[in-house]
Structure 1
Amino acid sequence: MRSKRSFDFVHTSPRFLTISALILLIGLIMLGIKGLNYGIDFSSGTSVDITVSKKIEEGKVRSFLEGQNLGEFTLTSAELRESIRFKHALNEAEEKKLKSEFQAQIDPNSSFEVFIVDVEIAKEQQRNAIIGLLVASLGIVIYVSIRFEWRFAISAVVALLYDALFVICMFSIFRLEVNLPFILAVLTIIGYSINDTIVIFDRIRENLRFAKIKSHADLDRLVNDSIWQTMARSINTVITVLIAAICLFVFGGESIKLFSLAMIIGLVSGAYSSIFIASQLWLFLKKRQPIKKAVATKPQSTP
């Protein structure tokens, strides 16, 4: 059934693709210049989370830390919790000194959670994160190739790469911390993005079974109709998860704020890429295939 919607995704997609390419290019340039702001999961350092028994001014805690001469650090204060990230791994003596002096000068009833990552562990976790992303992408290629065809698989993977790179570039531009929850967010984004893409691809495949494709214009109409026919489902799915991610970002603790922020960016990017990248790339590849013309058969003459 033809969609009566007036917006033409196919004919407007070059504009969106141009904008997407420019944003991604700027992000990749920034990524090449500044790199990523790795947390201690991927770089050596020490994370100290202090639970205090009373509200303490951030300035007082910062002055205390500056007097400890433990090197560069970042401090995040929340109600009854102080989160400190040191750029280098504290040794046992430094850790004990920090705890004892904090309890003596700031809060004698405070408790500590200390997480130390050395250089070798950080490098290993970087490798494992990259391997995880590659394995996930390979699994998606195999799944889509078996269920659909190679054009669908290539289009889906390009869209997923765009989503992952877009989130990574945003974190690079705004110098947001990249840690293990960030990798989990990227993998989750890939899952939701491929779900949106598969929904559209499945409708395209179903419509192809019954459509009479005689020209490239027929293919354009088929893709437009398929997108509109799945639009309500895609929007409902994204909005549902997006509301949950926004609530986590607003009301969640500091430890999950960057995870939820990555989810918000990735969910929007995934819905966008399914429509303007995956389906349009499939259409481009499909148009490279010659359209089969129906051959008219001559009626046999009766003797």
Structure 2
Amino acid sequence: MGVSMSRWGNDLYAGRRSYDVVGARRRWFLVATSVVLISAVLLGVRGLNPGIEFRGGSEFTVPGVEETTQQPAVDAVTGIPGAEIPRVSVVGADTLRVQTSQLDDVQTQELAAALAAAYGVPENEVNSSYIGPVWGQDVTTKALRALVIFLALISLVLTVYFRDWRMAVAALVALLHDLVITVGLYAAIGWEVTPATVIGFLTILGYSLYDTVVVFDKVNENVRGVLEQRRYTYGELANLAVNQTLVRSVNTSVVAVLPVGSILFIGAFLLGAGTLRDIALALFVGILVGTFSSVFLATPLLVWLREREARVAAHTRARLEERRAAATASGARDTVTVGALVPGQHLGTRSQPRRRKGHKPGRRQ
């Protein structure tokens, strides 16, 4: 019979059930590094596909078309001298969006007439707009500036709040991990990066940071006074914090990803709302990747950084040596795992003496 979610969560919180997330940190570091490298290679080789808001140019919207084939639009733009090969996309069920390089007023009128004739719609229904390259560069600059300011403020706040710069470093590494993977996916599939996409990037950074701070807050609570006791190591108490917040992380992610998935798969793909697709993909991927980094990357990286500290390293070595000596003296196998609670021991509880068969409370045998 399966274990209920409530019982599973209670067992994780009390330490009766434990997953050795911190102890397997090399595996998670390898997975995270591999995916980040693949995303970076895709980003360097394929590059991003910036929307017209970033690169500038002329945009035409052709509504009410019976057939949304793109070749007539390509042929119409090709017939305009000086126009680059267009980017044609379908918006909704019967609307085409055609983007090309900057056109003057005469070229704009000629292309609008050509598109109207190609798709059999009145010329006055073809809408055109122009976005200058200066405005696009200004949007790019402000987006990068917002990202830098965001990361700087987060580093300062985390350092002050937790009084530990290592937590700020681990959180920033997790944030960059989420950002690089999400941007790399956009480079892989070739979707346009629009201002809505940038908003999605910043949103997933906030979500990932929130999840990481919750885990770190529990870590900070568990490891308080860790060097003054001899029962657990820093890694074991940090691993307990990950297990105690695991159910909350999973539930929060599921609740968040369901509506975003509906926007992406129903709103964007089935209903054809292209503007929703720009932000929905970033949110969908970012939530999933952010959950992974908060659980499997941030805390293991924090433990790795803290165990580089002399006092924490000495405490961990002394505790493990005591366990090995006790295991050898009792004839048990010499297997000690850093990062997982010792079986049969969990925080805040004491092992109860085993009752003899037939013994009843309050009755002497």
Shift of 1:21: 0.8
* Matched position secondary structure for 1:209: coil
| Map of 1:278 onto structure 2 | 298
Q: Which amino acid aligns with 2:19?
A: F
Q: 2-side partners of 1:68 and 1:151: how far apart?
A: 55
> Aligned pair 1:51/2:63, yes or no?
yes
Percent of aligned positions that are identical? 24
Q: Which residue of 1 aligns with 2:249?
A: 234
1:71 is aligned to 2:84: yes
| Deviation, structure 1 residue 197 | 0.2
Contact 1:50 1:110 in 2 (8 A): no
Please tell me whether residue 158 in structure 1 is matched to residue 178 in structure 2: no
Please state how far the C-alpha of 1:146 moved relative to its aligned partner: 1.5
Q: Residues 280, 7 of structure 1: CA spacing in aligned structure 2 closer, same or farther, 3 A cutoff?
A: same
1:256 equivalent to 2:276? Answer yes
Distance 1:234 1:184 in 2: 23
Change (3 A) 1:197 1:118: same
Runs of 4+ in 1 over 3 A off after TM superposition: 100-105, 109-115, 210-217
Q: Does 1:183 align with 2:195?
A: no
Q: Secondary structure at the match of 2:219?
A: helix
How far residue 28 of structure 1 moved from its aligned partner, in angstroms, is 1.3
Indicate if the aligned counterparts of 2:212 and 2:294 stay in contact, CA closer than 8 A.
yes
- Within 1, Cα distance between the matches of 2:220 and 2:116? 66
Hey, what's the Cα distance between the residues in 1 that align with 2:201 and 2:294?
A: 16
Say yes or no: does 1:148 pair with 2:162: yes
Contact 2:54 2:140 in 1 (8 A): yes
Paired with 2:27 and 2:99, the residues of 1 have a C-alpha distance of 43
CA distance in structure 2 between the aligned counterparts of 1:267 and 1:103, rounded to whole angstroms: 42
CA contact 1:102–1:108 (8 Å) conserved in 2: no
CA deviations on 1:19-48 (whole Å, 9 max, x unpaired) are 221121122122222321111122132232
Q: Is the contact made by 1:234 and 1:271 (CA closer than 8 Å) also made in structure 2?
A: yes
- The residue type equivalent to 1:18 in the other structure is L
Which of 22, 46, 55 is the equivalent residue of 1:34? Answer: 46
* Correspondence for 2:121: 107
Q: Is the alpha carbon distance of 1:140 and 1:254 closer, same or farther for their aligned partners in structure 2, counting shifts above 3 Å? A: same
> Contact 2:155–2:168 (CA<8 Å) still a contact in 1?
yes
Q: 1:131 aligns with which of 145, 148, 151?
A: 145
**Aligned equivalents of 2:138, 2:229: Cα separation in 1:** 54
What amino acid maps onto 1:58 in structure 2? Answer: T
User: Equivalents in 2 of 1:118, 1:75: separation in Å?
Assistant: 19
Aligned-CA RMSD value: 2.3
Q: Tell me if the contact between 1:185 and 1:259 (Cα under 8 Å) persists in the aligned partners.
A: yes
Indicate the larger mover: 127-136 or 186-195.
127-136
**What SS class does the counterpart of residue 245 from structure 2 fall into?**
helix
Equivalents in 2 of 1:85, 1:5: separation in Å? 56
Q: 1:33 to 1:213 in 2, by over 3 A?
A: farther
Distance 1:47 1:216, change over 3 A: farther
Task: Say whether the 8 Å CA contact 2:19–2:243 is kept in structure 1.
Answer: no
Per the alignment, residue 24 of structure 2 pairs with 12
For 1:220, the equivalent position in structure 2 comes to: 235
Q: Which has the larger radius of gyration?
A: 2
State the aligned residue count. Answer: 289
Say if 1:288 and 1:215 are closer, same or farther in 2 by CA, change over 3 A.
farther
C-alpha spacing 1:184/1:213, structure 2 compared with 1 (3 Å): farther
State the distance in 2 between where 1:202 and 1:286 align.
Answer: 16
1-side partners of 2:28 and 2:245: how far apart?
A: 20
How far apart, CA to CA, are the structure 2 residues paired with 1:112 and 1:167? 35
Q: TM-score, normalised by structure 2?
A: 0.73
Which of 126, 129, 132 is the equivalent residue of 1:118?
Answer: 132
The amino acid across from 1:220 in the alignment is G
- Give the counterpart letter for 1:62 in structure 2: Q
Structure 2 gaps, min length 5:
1-12, 268-272, 316-365
Amino acid at match of 1:81: T
- Distance in 1 between the 2:74 and 2:301 partners? 53
CA 142–118 in structure 1, closer or farther in 2 if over 3 Å, else same: same
Residue deviations 1:95-135, cap 9 Å, x none? Answer: 22233343455112873443422332222222111111111
